[in-house]
């Protein structure tokens, strides 16, 4: 089994850092960001922390107690924009990035060593420096073999120069120094239960036998023990990018001039593409039919659908019409294909106010009959 190298990248006092990225005069000064609704402190620079400003302190008290701190009202739109830039920067190193909050992301470093010809600490250093240089956002990076340990490492990184690695050699020592309640995912309730069982440190926990943990803390307890022991159970959950188009094409079994063969192949591609669209939850608002001749010349026809759909039965009539437009009987063809384009998803699908009514069932029935007459029963099945 190859060893994982997982990093947790965490922006330091993110809201304050974002304000500073916009206004560099604030760098080095005590700054706090206040929530919009009730005016409580929601982010503090380390200078503000050092002055004793508390998280959650109401503004009327804070300004009285700490008049020399600069207070900014939260600008969440700005924070989201900067967060997107940080996350995109991370994704420029690898697509194995899991954004877990506005200012935190897990990243799989495994494999990057060869790509960048640097060790993992040097890679973390490079990421940290580039994010600072380009976006003026300071980040802390924790590295270890599991997500749970990487999170713990990032907490330590904040207090120790920005980068911290929990390798196998010092893992046990660190677990012995870490309160179990400081492990991510251990809430108050679980923390109390652990204390009742005389588990105080993370090492106390992993030292308990598996069967005992199973009885007391069930599967989650076993998972936690494994993760703390460096056995990675939780992978990077990449954000699934929803496609804006779906293409389906392939070479014909043999070259042909016959439009019926092309039609049959095209229908097969439409069925596959529609199925993919349904799996993604997307609906096409236009299509593109493509024919490629023996000499690799490509002929395309784009069609705007009068419905947004992922049903082959609604797409086929448009596609066959488009095929006829580009088909030339004298040419020899090697492939045919369909692209469902301008895919729309869920909330973005316009309602019927703006889109003409769907092809009526009667019309669909006729299309089905024609197709079945031509290609045999079962050529089309209505998708779910
Ligand atoms: Mg943070």
281 Cα: distance to centroid of ligand 1 (angstroms): 33
Q: What is the mean pLDDT of residues 340-351?
A: 70
Q: How far is CA 58 from CA 14, 32, 37, 76, 204, in A?
A: 19, 11, 11, 19, 39
How many CB atoms are closer than 10 A to CB 326?
A: 15
H or E segment to which residue 252 belongs? strand 246-256
32 Cα: distance to centroid of ligand 1 (angstroms): 14
H or E segment to which residue 313 belongs? helix 312-326
296 Cα: distance to centroid of ligand 1 (angstroms): 54
13 Cα: distance to centroid of ligand 1 (angstroms): 5
Q: List all residues 6 or more positions away from 313 whose beta carbon is below 8 Å from its beta carbon.
A: 364, 367, 368, 380, 382, 383
- Helices 168-177, 147-158: axis angle to 10 degrees equals 70
State the DSSP code for 167: -
Mean pLDDT of the chain: 89
Q: pTM score > 0.85 for this model? A: no
Q: What is the mean pLDDT of residues 180-207?
A: 92
Domains of the chain and any CATH numbers = 14-78 (3.40.1170.60), 79-228 (3.30.70.270), 246-375 (3.30.1490.100)
Which band of pLDDT confidence, cut at 50, 70 and 90, is reported for residue 109?
Answer: very high
| Among 246, 4, 239, residue whose Cα is nearest residue 111 | 4
Which band of pLDDT confidence, cut at 50, 70 and 90, is reported for residue 161?
Answer: confident
206 Cα: distance to centroid of ligand 1 (angstroms): 27
pLDDT at 351: 41
SS3 content of the chain, % helix, strand, coil (to 5): 45, 25, 30
Q: Active-site residue numbers?
A: 104
């Amino acid at each position: 089994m190859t060893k994982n190298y997982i990093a947790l990248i965490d922006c330091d006092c993110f809201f304050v850092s974002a304000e500073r990225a916009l206004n560099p005069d604030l760098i080095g000064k005590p700054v706090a960001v206040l929530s919009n609704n009730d005016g409580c402190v929601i982010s503090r620079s380390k200078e503000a922390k050092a002055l004793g400003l508390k998280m959650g302190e109401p503004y009327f008290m804070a300004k009285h107690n700490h008049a020399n701190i600069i207070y900014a009202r939260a600008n969440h739109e700005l924070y989201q924009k900067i967060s997107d830039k940080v996350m995109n920067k991370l994704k420029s190193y690898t697509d194995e990035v899991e954004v877990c909050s506005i200012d935190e992301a897990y990243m799989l470093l495994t494999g990057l060593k060869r790509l960048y010809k640097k060790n993992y600490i040097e890679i973390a250093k490079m990421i940290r420096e580039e994010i600072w240089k380009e976006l003026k956002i300071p980040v802390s990076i924790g590295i270890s073999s599991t997500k749970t340990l990487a999170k713990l490492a990032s907490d330590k990184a904040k207090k120790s120069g920005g980068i911290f690695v929990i390798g196998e050699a010092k893992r046990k020592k660190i677990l012995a120094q870490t309160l179990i309640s400081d492990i991510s995912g251990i809430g108050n309730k679980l923390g109390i239960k652990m204390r009742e069982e005389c588990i105080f440190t993370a090492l106390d926990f992993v030292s308990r036998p598996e069967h005992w943990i199973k009885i007391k803390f069930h599967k989650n307890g076993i998972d936690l023990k494994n993760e703390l022991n460096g056995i990675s159970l939780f992978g990077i959950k990449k954000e699934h990018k929803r496609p804006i188009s779906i293409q389906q094409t392939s070479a014909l079994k043999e070259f042909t001039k016959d439009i019926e063969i092309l039609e049959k192949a095209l229908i097969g591609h439409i069925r596959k593409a529609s199925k993919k669209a349904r799996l993604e939850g997307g609906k096409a608002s236009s299509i593109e039919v493509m024919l490629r001749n023996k000499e690799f010349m490509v002929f395309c026809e784009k069609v705007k659908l009068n419905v947004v759909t992922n049903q082959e039965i609604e797409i086929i009539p448009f596609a066959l019409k488009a095929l006829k437009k580009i088909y030339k009987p004298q040419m020899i063809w090697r492939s045919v294909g369909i692209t469902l384009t301008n895919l729309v998803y869920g909330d973005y699908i316009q309602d019927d106010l703006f889109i003409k009514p769907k092809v009526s069932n009667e019309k669909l029935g006729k299309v089905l009959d024609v197709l079945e007459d031509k290609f045999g029963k079962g050529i089309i099945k209505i998708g779910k």
